[in-house]
Structure 1
Amino acid sequence: MLQEMLKDVVRTKSYQNVMYKNPFLFKDKIVLDVGAGTGILSLFCAKVGAKHVYAVECSSMADMAQEIVKQNGLSDVITVLKGKIEEIELPVDQVDIIISEWMGYFLLYENMLNTVLYARDKWLVKDGLVLPDKASLHLTAIEDADYKEDKIEFWNNVYGFDMSCIRKQSIMEPLVDIVDQKQLVTNCQLLKTMDISKMSAGDASFTAPFKLVAERDDYIHALVAYFDVSFTKCHKLMGFSTGPKSRATHWKQTVLYLEDVLTVCEGETVTGFMTVAQNEKNPRDIDITLKYSLNGRRCIVSRTQHYRMR
C-alpha cells in the first residue's frame, strides 16, 4: 500500500507541484506534516525553503522516515515525531502551515480529517495555511450490468439454492474500484464542499440533495462517488480529481449498487438525498443512506438504501 501511494503520480506529483511551483508559501515557514508516512511531503517542504518541518507519524513508519531524512541530509530541517497528533507535544507553540494527505476512500473512510482539524485548532497560527484547503464530494451514475450480475445477483440462485441473505449484505457494502468513463450514464453532481481551514469535525456528517440527468437512453445499476481536492492559496489554483474522467488514483471511485435496475431515457432525472455519517460504534466506518426516485416514461421507482464502508 505504501509503494502504491508513492507511485500514485496524480497524488504525489500534485503535492510536489504545489510546493515546487509555490515556494513563496513555504520560504522560512514552520510546517507541520500530519500523518507523514515516509516523510515525502516533509522532504518536498524542506527542498523549497521551509525553516523547519515537524513530521508526525504514529506508526512504525516514523522510524523509517527518520532514517530517510538522515540519508537525505535534512536532519537539521526535518524533525520526525512518533506518536498521535492528539498525544504529542510540538517543540514550538505555533506552526505556519499544516500539510497532510488525509483523504480516504469516498474521501471520508478511514481518513485523518479530524486529526488535521485538531492540529489546526491547537497549533496553526492565525491566518496560517492548511494544505490542501478544499475538498469536494461528487456523484454520478453508471451502467454496470455485468458486474452486478456476477457479484450480487449470483446469490439469488447458488446451484439451485436461495442465498439472497448474502446478496443483501453484499449490496450494502460499497465497492472501491476504477470505473470506465464509458459506463457513465448521467452528468456529475457536486454533493458537498469542505473548507478544511474553517470547517468543524461535525461538518463531515451531512445530508445533500442530488439531481442526475441521463445523457443517453440506458440502464443505471449503481451510483458512483468520487472526490476532488484543491490548493486554493497557490499562485494558480491547483489540485486533482479522483473521478472516472480523470487519471486513475489509488483512491479509485466508490460504487453504490442499487436494488433496482433503473431504465432511463435521455433527459430523465434521478433525484434524491445522500446522508453520510460516521458509524456510532466504529468512527472509522462510514454509514451512507441513499434516498432516490426516478419518474420516467417507462418506470416509477422510489427507494431508500443503506450502505456501510468498513
Structure 2
Amino acid sequence: MLKDVVRTKTYQNAIYQNAFIFKNKVVLDVGAGTGILSLFCAKAGAKHVYAVECSLMADMAKEIVQTNGLSNVITVLKGKIEDIELPIDRVDVIISEWMGYFLLFENMLNTVLYARDKWLIDDGIILPDKASLYLTAIEDAEYKEDKIEFWNSVYGFDMSCIKKQAMAEPLVDVVDQNQIVTNCLLLKTMDISKMTAGDMSFTVPFKLMAERNDFIHALVAYFDVAFTRCHKLMGFSTGPRSKATHWKQTVLYLEDVLTICEGEVLSGSMSVEPNKKNPRDIEIMLRYSLNGKRCQISRTQYYKMR
C-alpha cells in the first residue's frame, strides 16, 4: 500500500498542505500500519500523535518512529481501538486509511466511527471525511469466458455447478476504461463525520444509460475519497478512468449477456449490508432489468465478498 502513490501522496499532500489542521493538535491515527500517516502528521506540526495498530506491524511502527527521532511526538499503541485506552480524554483530529475493496469490504469504518464517538472533540476533524460509491457497466466477454464459462467444460467434464459460486464472488481487478458501455452513476455518499454504523446498510436505485451499442457482461463498482476540510478540495478516485490504485475496481458479473443500444437504460437497485456473522464481509443484492430493442430481461442476483 505504501507503493500506492495515488493513496499515499494524496494523504501526504492533504496533511502537508493543510498544516493548520495539525499544528499543535492531538491526532489519533486509526489502523496506523507502518505509521506513515502518523509520521506525516508529526512533520506537519502535531502536538502529539497516537498511532493505534492491532497487528504485529505495531512493533515495526514503534521502531520506525524511534529510528526517525519522533518518539517524543508519536506514541504507538498496540491493540484494537475498541479495547485500548488513550492517556487523554479527547483528540482534535482523527486520520485513517480505513477503506476496503468495494469501499466497505474488510474496511475499518466501524472502528473509525467508534473512535470518533469516544474521543473526538465536538468540533474535531476527521480525514478523509467523505467517501462516494459509483457504478457503471462494462463489456467483458473475454474475461467472463475465462472466469465463468470455463466451468462448462473442464478437460471434457461438466463442472457447471461451480458457476453459481463463481458468479456470486465479485472480482477485484483493474478494468480498462475502453470497456465502459454506460455512464458512471453516483450510488451513495458517506459523511464520516456524521454517519452511524447503520448507514453502511443501504438500498439505492440506479439507471445506467448506454453510451454506445454493445454488450453488457458485468457491473463495476468503485469509490472516490475526499478531504473536504482542507483549504481546497483534495481526494482521489479508484475508478477505471483514473490512475490505478491497490483497491482496483469491483466487478459483478451478470448471469445474462445483455445486448444494449445507445440511449437505452439498464435500471434496478443495489442493496448492500454487512454479513451478520462477520461484519467485515459484505453481501450485495442486485436487481436489474432491461427492456431494449434487442434484449428484455429482469433478474435478481446475490453476491458475497468474503
TM-score (norm 1): 0.98
What is aligned with 2:203? 207
The CA deviation string for residues 15-52 of structure 1, in whole angstroms up to 9 with x for no partner, is 00001111011110000000000000000000010000
Letter in 1 for 2:68: N
> Aligned match of 2:108 in 108, 112, 121?
112
In structure 2, what is the Cα distance between the partners aligned to 1:74 and 1:291?
A: 52
1:188 CA displacement? 0.3
Q: Is the counterpart of residue 143 in structure 1 residue 143 in structure 2?
A: no
Letter in 1 for 2:71: S
Q: Relative to structure 2, which stretch is displaced further, 145-154 or 116-125?
A: 145-154
What is aligned with 1:158? 154
What is aligned with 1:274? 270
What is aligned with 2:190? 194
2:136 partner SS:
strand
Letter in 2 for 1:182: N
> Aligned match of 2:247 in 246, 251, 269?
251
Q: How many equivalent residue pairs? A: 306
1:149 CA displacement? 0.8
1:215 CA displacement? 0.3
1:283 CA displacement? 1.6
Alignment of 1:1-310 (within 5 A): 5-310=1-306
The CA deviation string for residues 181-232 of structure 1, in whole angstroms up to 9 with x for no partner, is 0000000000000000000001011001111000000000000000000000
1:281 CA displacement? 2.1
2:178 partner SS:
helix
In structure 2, what is the Cα distance between the partners aligned to 1:238 and 1:159?
A: 51
2:262 partner SS:
coil
The CA deviation string for residues 66-121 of structure 1, in whole angstroms up to 9 with x for no partner, is 00000000001000000000000001100000000000000000000000000000
Structure 1 residue runs without a partner (length 5+): none
1:162 CA displacement? 2.1
In structure 2, what is the Cα distance between the partners aligned to 1:292 and 1:211?
A: 9
Give identity over the alignment, percent.
80
Cα RMSD of the aligned pairs, angstroms, is 0.6
1:265 CA displacement? 0.5
1:146 partner SS:
helix
1:154 CA displacement? 1.3
Structure 2 residue runs without a partner (length 5+): none
Q: Relative to structure 2, which stretch is displaced further, 155-164 or 94-103?
A: 155-164
In structure 1, what is the Cα distance between the partners aligned to 2:277 and 2:73?
A: 41
1:285 CA displacement? 1.1
The CA deviation string for residues 120-165 of structure 1, in whole angstroms up to 9 with x for no partner, is 0000000100100000100000000001111101112223432111
In structure 1, what is the Cα distance between the partners aligned to 2:292 and 2:228?
A: 40
1:282 CA displacement? 2.0
Letter in 2 for 1:270: L
Letter in 2 for 1:279: N
